[in-house]
Amino acid sequence: MALASLLRSIPSHRALRRPFVSPYSLALLGVLVLPFLLAAPFLNEPFEKDEGTYATVARGLLDGQLPYRDLFDHKPPLVYV
């Protein structure tokens, strides 16, 4: 009987108030957003030579072409993965 009354006196997990946004979730959000904020000023920059080649081959892969048969670059295999 004493154990039952003791268990009733402990607040349930529903009664405990938690903050709406935890500091950990704010830190995680900051870590996820920071790279986008740092890269944002450079979005209008043109591709460099290698980046343009990677983009061309990646577009070909998405269109169903096969590397080293339909698309060729002098890079080793699995670079585009």
- List pLDDT tens digits, range 31-48: 999 999 999 998 888 878
**Tell me, what's the pLDDT at 36?**
93
Tell me what percent of the residues of the chain surpass a pLDDT of 90: 27
Q: Does the reported pTM lie above 0.75?
A: no
**Tell me, what's the pLDDT at 30?**
93
Residues 6+ apart with CB under 8 A from 67: 57, 60, 61, 77, 80
**Tell me, what's the pLDDT at 9?**
67
Domain ranges of the chain: 47-81
d(CA 61, CA 40) in angstroms, rounded, equals 27
Average pLDDT estimate for 52-66: 89
In the predicted model, is pLDDT for residue 56 greater than 70? yes
